[in-house]
Structure 1
Amino acid sequence: MDVKSAFPNGFIEEEVYVRQPPGFESARFPDRVYKLRKALYGLKQAPRAWYARLKSFLLKSRFVMGSVDKTLFLLSRGGDTLIVQIYVDDIIFGGSEQISREFEMSLMGLEGTFVHQAKYTRDILKKFNIVDSKPMTTPMSTNTVLDADEDGEAVDQKEFRGMIGSLLYLTATRPDIQFAVCLCARYQASPRTSHRQAVKRIFSYLKFTPELGLWYYSESSQMLTMLAAVRKSTFGTCQLLGTSLVSWSSRKQASVSLSTTEAEYIAAASCCSQVLWMKATLSDFGLRFGKIPLLVDSTSAISVAKNPVLHSRTKHIDVRFHFLRDHYEKGDIDLVHVASENQLADIFTKPLEFGAFVRLRVFKV
């Protein structure tokens, strides 16, 4: 559900005054201002005030707030559970299967749920006039090398940023373009012709695959799996619940690594921190996990985590990344070697040739 005029429902404690809006000035008191009793859109206190009002209502209604995610509320009564997930003024309600056992119902998505943005994809293709371009089978060529290209011809920055923004919104259901989009997004400050060509190829790929999205099986197992991979300065991670991809990232490594082992170790640590947060969040839903497998295609990185002995390849690693070793010793995670050709996270770190790209795009752990 979507709450109508959500922010004005929030009460503010601060003393805030606003000018009379144009067209609504008081003829009797034209020089006066309004004192606010409720929040308004554009007011910095508005989101906090709205959340406080909604939280207060839910807690009074005997909901329990999530221990990790403070926008998650649960109400249990008998064998039923009502789940409320909040995102600003959008609220998602979910429930247990008890009600379907009591009443005959017509349920949609018995086998699973397919999430896609096909209409949005076609809309942005028309918006940026990519409709007549030649379709591409991959979002980025394996021969593509992007850099600042300071000697290249500059292009319209506003248009380039608009294209990047549209694509970033699409990555919510299209992890297959995540790496290419994030790589091109690094050059928004001073876009060149080479950068625009790379972005246009992504659009051409979308023309070839507008219907792709994410499929979530209704009967998927409740097992968490995480994968991490690195190529040069980019590391990619992804987390799966059963066979369903639920979280992923592709980003430039913030710190400089002096060896591949070091880079892989840091990427694995980042992946581990994300899945531990997910593990804690899912505990509010009553899901419990034992040792979570972390699939890494670097045997050296696995050895570093399992072997506390300091050597030349690990002496430069910041102390904060060694919590990976701590959680391995505690039994929270299990480091598992995976063959490079089965490393799903590779799709978030580098451009791939068509065969490998398609295989990883539909890969299941």
Structure 2
Amino acid sequence: MACFNRWQVSSLDVSGTYLYSPVEETVLIEPPTTFLPHLKGKVLRLKKALYGMKQGGRCWWFFLSGILERMGFAATEVNQSLYLFRNDQELIAIWIHVDDGVVTSNSLGAISRFKTALCGELGIKWSDQLTHIVSLNCAFGEGEVTITQGHLNNGILEAYARRIIKCDAPLPVLPAGSAIPNQDALDPTPYRSVPKAKHWLLLDHVVGYLLKTRAHRIRLRPMSLSLSLWSDVGWGGDLECRQSGFILKLGDAPIHWSSKRQTVVALSTCAAEYVALSSTPGAGNKSTRQKIHQYNFLQQSGGGTGFNQQPLQEAHEVS
């Protein structure tokens, strides 16, 4: 949406995230007597969250939500990490992932005021450009953004000790992936501890595909804000897993995709296609649900100048 409307996209990084978050519950800890020997034999009450606490992330979320709500932001209905601020003329959208955030707006003045207000509450490292977020590298051009995973892929390739051969596909056409051939029922708990040579070959294939495609990029350049959903299922060609997948596009830009084993047994190709398209909890991919979520977000945000409030279009399956 930001690319389509030519909005500025900024990024922020909160320093010492959890240390801002107050702990409302009574939590007692043993003091580090190596550094504070005079506290030996005493306990301390924890007032701020610490890294490593199971509830640390929750405390931080409550604290940050309170700050944003006081500024007039509200979390979207479909994504509690995405906040919107709207008035008659301005829109600000901010997405938060722990201590990282992405901010975009139709007004440079609104971004400047938000930056000043947030820096008054927290220690913020602010950048007027988004270059990376959650292991993704981003490069913005005129009305487009290019996304790569070079840093993440290179880390996997450097840590892999076996010989790597480039491969053109993620997996062979018909991988034999069963850990144990058909036989009497065995205890299933140790199945991950008995990898066979064929499993190492499959892993080699996956890593080889990463090597071959580590320079591949996804270019997001939406020419419109219309949503389209495509789904498919390998009902007859995938005898073991019955996997299905979908891709959701905003204009011609892919924004969400998934491939997953179906959790509902389908008795025909047609039924399997309906399962792939379904938004029920047992369907696995929840493709239609994702489209509804994205549509609701565009409605809440107004979609800038390119969203025409058209009703949802159902995906058509060809068997």
Query: Normalising by structure 2, what TM-score?
Result: 0.72
Matched, 1:192 2:201: no
**Matches of 1:188 and 1:281, distance apart in 2:** 40
The answer (yes or no) to whether the contact 2:76–2:84 under 8 Å persists in 1 is: yes
Aligned length: 256
Aligned to 1:14: 25
Cα pair distance change 1:35/1:213, threshold 3 Å: same
1:242 is displaced (CA, Å) by 0.8
**Matches of 1:25 and 1:35, distance apart in 2:** 15
Cα pair distance change 1:221/1:91, threshold 3 Å: same
Listed one character per residue, the Cα deviations across residues 161-220 of structure 1 (whole Å, up to 9, x for unaligned) are: xxxxxxxxxxxxxxxxxxxxxxxxxx7564322111111112112222221132100x52
**Matches of 2:74 and 2:267, distance apart in 1:** 47
**Matches of 2:51 and 2:318, distance apart in 1:** 49
Matched, 1:43 2:53: yes
**Matches of 1:221 and 1:80, distance apart in 2:** 21
Cα pair distance change 1:17/1:197, threshold 3 Å: same
Aligned to 2:43: 33
1:97 is displaced (CA, Å) by 5.8
**Matches of 1:68 and 1:120, distance apart in 2:** 28
**Matches of 2:211 and 2:79, distance apart in 1:** 37
Partner SS state of residue 37, structure 2:
coil
1:119 to 151, 154, 169: 151
Aligned to 2:102: 92
Aligned to 1:274: 290
1:262 is displaced (CA, Å) by 1.5
Amino acid at match of 1:227: W
Cα pair distance change 1:88/1:145, threshold 3 Å: same
1:291 is displaced (CA, Å) by 2.8
The answer (yes or no) to whether the contact 1:224–1:289 under 8 Å persists in 2 is: no
Cα pair distance change 1:111/1:16, threshold 3 Å: same
Amino acid at match of 1:2: D
Aligned to 1:149: 180
Partner SS state of residue 294, structure 1:
coil
1:148 is displaced (CA, Å) by 2.1
Q: Deviating runs (4+, > 6 A) in structure 1?
A: none
Matched, 1:226 2:236: no
The answer (yes or no) to whether the contact 2:264–2:275 under 8 Å persists in 1 is: no
Amino acid at match of 2:26: E
Matched, 1:210 2:214: yes
**Matches of 1:274 and 1:188, distance apart in 2:** 32
Amino acid at match of 1:278: Q
Listed one character per residue, the Cα deviations across residues 68-106 of structure 1 (whole Å, up to 9, x for unaligned) are: 32222222355232211111221111111666xxxxx99
**Matches of 2:315 and 2:202, distance apart in 1:** 32
Listed one character per residue, the Cα deviations across residues 252-296 of structure 1 (whole Å, up to 9, x for unaligned) are: 111222222221111111321221122223322213341323132
Amino acid at match of 2:170: P
Alignment of 1:308-323 (within 5 A): none
Amino acid at match of 2:58: R
2:164 to 133, 137, 141: 133
1:243 is displaced (CA, Å) by 0.8
Q: Which runs of 5+ in 2 are unaligned?
A: 1-11, 110-127, 130-138, 183-190, 236-241, 279-285, 304-308
Listed one character per residue, the Cα deviations across residues 6-55 of structure 1 (whole Å, up to 9, x for unaligned) are: 1121111111101113622432x311111011111222222121111111
Alignment of 1:104-115 (within 5 A): 108-115=140-147
Listed one character per residue, the Cα deviations across residues 120-167 of structure 1 (whole Å, up to 9, x for unaligned) are: 32332222145x63322222222433222359xxxxxxxxxxxxxxxx
Over the matched positions of the two proteins, sequence identity in percent amounts to 24
1:221 is displaced (CA, Å) by 0.9
Cα pair distance change 1:190/1:260, threshold 3 Å: farther
Amino acid at match of 2:258: S
| Structure (1 or 2) with the greater helix fraction | 1
Amino acid at match of 1:224: L
Q: Which runs of 5+ in 1 are unaligned?
A: 100-104, 152-186, 299-365
**Matches of 1:206 and 1:68, distance apart in 2:** 32
Alignment of 1:166-315 (within 5 A): 188=192, 190-217=194-221, 219-232=222-235, 233-269=242-278, 270-287=286-303, 288-298=309-319
